[in-house]
Amino acid sequence: MDDELRTVVTRVHSGEEAAFDDLYHLTVRQLYRTLYTYLMTREDVEDVVQEAYLKLYQVRRKLDDTRSVPVYLRMIAINCARRKFRRSHPITAPVEEEDDVSGTETMKGVVREALQKLSPADRLVMGLFYGDQTSIQDICRMTGEKEGTVKSRLSRARERLREVIDHGT
Amino acid sequence: MEHNDREYTDMLNNELKDIEPGAGLHSKVRDGIARNVVHMRRRNTALGAVVIAVILTMGLSAVTPVFGRNGTLPQVITAMAAEQQAKKISKTLGTAPVEQTGTALQTSVTTVQTVSDSALSETDGVLALVIANKSGTPVADVLKLRATGLGWGRIMAQLNVSGRDIGKAMSQVKAATATKGKGENSKPAVSNTDGNKIVVNGEITGVSTTLITVAAKTFVIGSTTQLKYQGKAITPADIATKLAAGKLYATVQGTKQVDTSILANVIIVQDTAEQAKQEQVNEQTNPSNEQAAVSNDQQARGKVTVVTATVLHVDGFANDIILNADTKVEQVGAGSTNIAAIKVGQTVQVHVVLSGVTYTAQQVHIEDAYVKTDTTANEDQTTNSAVTTWQGTIAAIFPDKSITLTTEANPLLVIRITATSVLQDASHKALLFATLTVGQKVTIMGRTLTDNSVEVVKLTTTTSTSVNPGKGKGKH
């Protein structure tokens, strides 16, 4: 993956138009999930994804540090998402419809409900750390927060999630 | 990662496993990028067009007088810079900037007078003098160009005067006036009398609005008394304020009155003490001019025996006195005037500076009141009748636009303002009839009518009115 990404970024940097599509396919899944933990609606996520890739496209000729491209992309996306969030001021993000009510899906519903009870910032840190396996240092770079703040958010999110799952409150 | 962390990871992955970007998202991203590319291309095209238009306009304006009479863009910019400098120097010089500029540039008194008499603001006047000086063009020609409506930048270009020339000239003016300012602090050291005239030099020990005591001699401050401090007018109140702050000195030239009081004609206030003989008050009847033995600055007073454009000889003063462009000339009733006003037989008080063996007049004060009688053909082409000048004080103003004036010769001279009468203040700014006030000193040029009243051709207030310094006329 790393080698493939490096090759693609080099091609993007050299101006190959098709390489940007390859970069998109290599990075969009992870970005989509990260944004989903923050925004919780597909519609908003898709808007932010479009905006983030557009911004990345505008600076594509300046991309040279292959390793930092996914971090940089998420940094752009998080900033776009924050702006979108501020603009819309949602009190709580809407819960998407659940079709299935089997055992596993019930569990999914509880987790989603628990996530929604977290603050968006805590949820984002949780998604980055546990969902994307991002290091604390990279989370700090992406969110612009200090390490202590990120760790506090993680701790608070874990506690809240456990509380909701264990006791249903 | 601890065991609990694995739990959370699994929990989240399980929750997000169905969260995948839709198939159409890629095409949406691509569409967005394509739209942006088009938008950026259009924006760049528009910006390019604007930049090209600006460059073309600038280029065109640099060679074509797109600003009409103000000329090309560089000429407008040069004019603005020159006006800025002239404005600054006017502000620095304070009173009579045109006269001071003329003195600093060693231009003739006539030249300065020509500018002063023009309708230019002080700033424009300074600029006109500087341009004339730098281009070697008669100032009248510069004024003519300005009168045609040309901007200063265009005039400068026409007369081959650069912005740098203006800058240099302004520095010269500034330096010259600074040097002169220092010189004015030196003290005259002669006291003398001439018949009923008396000159006293010494410390001011008391001052009120009507009296001043110098070297134990008390003088009356009248409406005709000229009070000067460092070449500028000063009021008794200002003297009192300065006196409260410390010692102050003065040279007073006064005239004995019938009631034995002495009316001060000129009071020159100075900051520093006299060096010698300052307490001497010579009230002898035979006049004698004494020269200071200890100072290069001296006072000479007496009757003019010889006067040319460059040399003045005063009765009682042993040496010839050099007159030059720096020599300030004042006359009672006329204020600032020029060397041409000095006539044989007049009584003058001259502030002389000795340099080597040359005595140069810094200031000549003509004590004989200014009375001008001439025929001014230019102002009276229709009737060719004599136009006479009167000076006096407004005694009363009547709604029918007539005024009674108190003059030396006539305590009640009736003057009539007509539709063609020119009313102006000391700075040659137009005045309204309504702004005239009783008690104001005025100089009248006019024709005597059959009923002995005077039809005014020009009325000039000699007491200063508010002047809006050098605003220019919106031309550059």
A to B CB pairs, distance under 8 Å: 74
pLDDT in tens, B383-439: 445 677 888 888 888 887 888 888 887 777 888 888 778 888 887 778 888 888 888
Q: Return the pLDDT at A40.
A: 87
Is residue B381 one of the residues assigned to a domain? yes
User: Looking at the partner chain, which of B16, B20, B21 has a beta carbon nearest the beta carbon of A131?
Assistant: B16
Tally the domains of chain B: 4
- pLDDT by residue (tens digit) across A138-159? 899 888 899 999 999 989 888 8
Mean pLDDT confidence for B83-98 = 85
Which of B12, B14, B17 is most worth mutating to test chain A (most A CB atoms within 10 A of its CB)? B12
Helix pair angle (B3-16, A147-167), 10° resolution: 80
Flag if B12 and A111 touch (Cβ within 8 Å): yes
pLDDT of residue A108: 61
Beta strand B262-270 pairing with B249-256: antiparallel
Q: Please tell me the number of Cα atoms within 13 Å of B319 on its side-chain side.
A: 19
Residue A121 has pLDDT above 70, yes or no: yes
Rounded Cα–Cα distance for residues B112 and B51 (Å): 47
Give the global pTM: 0.41
Distance (Å, whole) CA A27 – CA B25: 13
Which are the contacts of A82, defined by CB distance < 8 A and separation ≥ 6?
none
For helices A136-143 and A147-167, the axis angle rounded to 10 degrees is 100
B363 has a pLDDT exceeding 80: yes
Contact B113, B338 (CB under 8 A): yes
- Would the CB atoms of B36 and A57 count as touching at under 8 Å? yes
- DSSP bridge partners of B403: B397, B415
CA B241/CA A63 separation, integer angstroms: 75
Do B201 and B342 fall within a single domain?
yes
Q: Which residue has the higher pLDDT, A150 or B308?
A: A150
A25 CB within 8 Å of a chain B CB? yes
B235, B293: one domain: yes
Give the H or E element holding residue A78.
Answer: helix A69-88
* Residue B21 to residue A28, Cβ atoms within 8 A: yes
Query: Which chain A residue shows the shortest CA-CA distance from B13?
Result: A131
Please give the residue range of the domain that contains residue B432. 373-461
Please say if the pLDDT value at position A114 is more than 70.
Answer: yes
Q: What is the mean pLDDT of residues A76-86?
A: 89
Could you list the beta-strand ranges (E) of B274-380. 297-307, 311-314, 321-322, 328-331, 335-337, 347-355, 358-366, 373-374
Which tokens is B302 given?
């007496």
A-facing residues of B in 32-51 (CB < 8 A) are 32-33, 36
Same domain, B36 and B74: no
The interface pTM score, or ipTM, of the predicted complex is 0.79
Under an 8 A CB cutoff, do A130 and B15 touch?
Answer: no
Q: In this structure, is residue B15 part of a structural domain? A: no
Provide mean pLDDT across the span A131-144.
88
Buried b or exposed e, range B56-87, using 16+ CB within 10 angstroms:
eeeeebeeebebeebbbbebbebbbbbbebbb
Is the pLDDT at B170 greater than 50? The verdict is: yes
- Residues B338, B392, single domain; the answer is no
Please tell me what DSSP assigns to residue B466.
Answer: -
Q: Is residue B436 part of a domain?
A: yes
Specify the pLDDT at position B108. 76
Both B171 and B142 in a single domain? yes
Q: How far are the Cα atoms of B175, B421, B463 from residue B393, in angstroms, in the given order?
A: 39, 18, 10
Residue B321 forms beta bridges with which residues?
A: B312, B359
B15 to chain A, minimum CA–CA distance in Å? 6
Q: Which domains does chain A carry?
A: 1-89 (1.10.1740.10), 101-169 (1.10.10.10)
B386 and B407 assigned to the same domain: yes
Tokens of B124: 């424009």
Whether residues A46 and B21 touch (CB distance < 8 A) is answered with: yes
Q: Does residue B16 sit within a domain?
A: no
